[in-house]
């Protein structure tokens, strides 16, 4: 439209670099089938709802007090969960948490980025990363992945040598392509960056990885001197734990790095309600991960079906699939929306991304896309 956005109005005393910038966010449309922001389609079960409600009620009796600033019990719960999930030993002192992994990563940039420093990633990559860098007044450089979305280590070597980044941000599995990073890439990056910076592997979707795909948690520094002390692995309860509404993200890293984040966090940033909710969900991890199992199977079926339609499909270790290519992807997106199916226009030109929903939702997606393919606009 030609209407100026509020950030363009002259009287708003915005930072110069924020002028005219649109706030981030996919459209939140009220349509029957929402497959656009990689949410978990399964609402919490009655058992989870009951446990969350009872835990929040208990927390409510002391809401006149500030919450545990160090979220000790939650750190213990998250460390135990990570240990079980990835088959590694994680100490509570290696865990940090905040309101969504969005906030975790902003804190990482606040602590390890800053004026005169540079963060790098490799496109296509998660579109929030440059915003974290901007908000933490950190330089931003994006290299490229290979055409098939695999990681280009030669490009990475060049970029690290040229820019000496203090933060490397890489999702694995990658959003929006679903591509996981092999261990040797992560290890090489950690060595290239050294003590000049941290390598952040964003495992928001890790629980959806296919059998045989490893977690970067295996590469964390251990007491016996193995692993990489500059490695940070972030996770979230938004996806596998079906808890996007609660806002709980976390990371595992060397205790010294976790300790450094205490300098930039706001006091009591994790509310007592958030801590109680997350702890309740962790008690139901086994049940919730059972649903993840179903979603992984549905993801593999979706990939196979898209391939049968003669489309290009990026192999996925996540709860979404990138597919294409379309001469007019916007038109295909609109056709699906007209049928009540909301997916996402993201990734390189020509590609679309669909989040994995329930079996019924994926059926709706398949029939809508079949219609769109039969009658190209």
Task: Give the footprint of ligand PMP on this chain (CB under 6 A).
Answer: 38, 100-102, 126, 171, 175, 202, 204, 236, 238, 244, 249
Q: Exposed, middle or buried: residue 238 (CB in 10 Å: 0-12, 13-18, 19+)?
A: buried
Least Å distance, CB 364 to ligand PMP, is: 22
Report the distance separating Cα 364 and Cα 377, nearest Å: 20
CB of 238 to ligand PMP, least distance (A): 3
Residues 6+ apart with CB under 8 A from 121: 129, 142, 143, 168, 169, 170
Listed in order, strand segments (DSSP E) in 159-313 are 167-171, 198-202, 231-236, 249-252, 312-313
Distances in Å between the Cα of 284 and the Cα atoms of 69, 208, 217, 241 are 24, 17, 22, 9
**Residue closest to ligand PMP (Cβ):** 100
Please state the closest distance from residue 374 (CB atom) to ligand PMP, in A.
32
Classify burial at 345, counting beta carbons within 10 Å of its beta carbon; exposed 0-12, middle 13-18, buried 19 or more: middle
**Cβ 205 to ligand PMP shortest distance, Å:** 7
Round to whole Å and give the CA distance between 96 and 244: 18
Q: Do residues 323 and 314 lie in contact, with contact meaning Cβ atoms separated by under 8 Å? A: yes
Between residues 233 and 372, which has the closer beta carbon with respect to ligand PMP?
233
Closest CB to ligand PMP among residues 123, 373: 123
Do residues 276 and 56 lie in contact, with contact meaning Cβ atoms separated by under 8 Å?
yes
Tell me the β-bridge partners of 329. none
> Please, which residues have CB within 8 angstroms of residue 205's CB and are 6 or more apart in sequence?
38, 171, 173, 175, 178, 239, 317, 318, 319, 320
Strands 167-171 and 118-123: parallel
Nearer to ligand PMP, 202 or 361 (CB): 202
Q: Decide if 197 contacts 230 (C-beta within 8 A).
A: yes
- In the bound state with ligand PMP, the residue whose beta carbon lies nearer, of 202 and 298, is 202
Nearer of residues 343 and 372 to ligand PMP, judged by Cβ: 343
Nearer Cβ to ligand PMP (197/249): 249
Residue (348 or 366) nearer to ligand PMP, CB: 348
Nearer to ligand PMP, 112 or 305 (CB): 112
Distance (Å, rounded) from C-alpha 83 to C-alpha 301? 29
Query: Which candidate, 149, 109, 151, 156, places its Cα nearest to that of 131?
Result: 109
Minimum distance, C-beta of residue 256 to ligand PMP, in the bound complex (Å): 24
- Tell me the closest approach of the beta carbon of residue 227 to ligand PMP, in angstroms: 23
Tell the smallest beta-carbon distance from residue 247 to ligand PMP (Å).
Answer: 7
Per-residue DSSP letter, 21:
P
Give the shortest CB-101-to-ligand PMP separation in angstroms: 3
Taking the complex as a whole, how short is the minimal distance between the CB of residue 73 and ligand PMP, in angstroms? Answer: 20
Residue with smaller CB distance to ligand PMP, 34 or 38? 38
In the bound complex, what is the minimum distance in angstroms from residue 342's beta carbon to ligand PMP? Answer: 15
Find the radius of gyration of the CA atoms of the chain.
21
Pseudo-torsion of CA 244, 322, 199, 295, nearest 10°? Answer: 50
Please say which residue, 23 or 225, places its beta carbon nearer to ligand PMP: 23
């Amino acid at each position: 439209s030609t209407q100026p956005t509020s950030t363009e109005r002259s009287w708003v005393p915005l930072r110069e670099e924020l002028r005219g910038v649109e706030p981030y966010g996919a459209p939140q449309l009220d349509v029957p089938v929402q497959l656009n922001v990689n949410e978990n389609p399964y609402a919490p079960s009655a058992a989870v709802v009951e446990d969350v409600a009872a835990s929040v009620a208990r927390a409510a009796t002391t809401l006149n007090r500030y919450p545990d600033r160090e979220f000790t019990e939650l750190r213990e719960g998250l460390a135990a969960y990570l240990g079980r999930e990835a088959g590694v030993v994680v100490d509570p002192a290696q865990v940090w948490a905040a309101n969504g992994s969005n906030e975790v990563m902003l804190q990482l940039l606040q602590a390890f980025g800053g004026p005169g420093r540079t963060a790098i990633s490799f496109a296509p990559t998660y579109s929030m990363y440059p915003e974290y860098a901007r908000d933490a007044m950190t330089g931003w450089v994006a290299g490229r992945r290979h055409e098939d979305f695999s990681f280009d280590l030669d490009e990475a070597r060049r970029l690290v040598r040229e820019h000496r980044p203090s933060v490397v941000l890489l999702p694995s599995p990658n959003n929006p392509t679903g591509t996981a990073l092999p261990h040797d890439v992560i290890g090489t990056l950690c060595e290239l960056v050294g003590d000049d910076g941290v390598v952040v592997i964003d495992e928001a979707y890790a629980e959806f990885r296919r059998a045989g795909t490893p977690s970067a948690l295996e590469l964390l520094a251990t007491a016996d001197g193995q692993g990489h002390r500059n490695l940070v692995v972030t996770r979230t309860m938004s996806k596998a734990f079906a808890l996007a509404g609660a806002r709980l993200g976390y990371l595992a890293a060397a205790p010294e790095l976790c300790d450094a984040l205490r300098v930039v966090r706001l006091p009591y940033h994790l509310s007592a309600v958030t801590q109680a909710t997350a702890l309740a969900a962790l008690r139901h991890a086994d049940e919730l991960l059972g649903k993840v199992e179903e979603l992984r199977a549905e993801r593999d079926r979706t990939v196979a079906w898209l391939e049968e339609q003669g489309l290009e499909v990026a192999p996925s270790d996540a709860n979404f699939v990138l597919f294409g290519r379309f001469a007019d992807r916007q038109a295909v997106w609109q056709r699906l929306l007209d049928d009540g199916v909301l997916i996402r226009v993201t990734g390189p030109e020509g590609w679309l991304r669909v989040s994995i929903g329930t079996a019924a939702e994926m059926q709706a997606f398949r029939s809508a896309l079949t219609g769109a393919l039969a009658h190209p606009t």
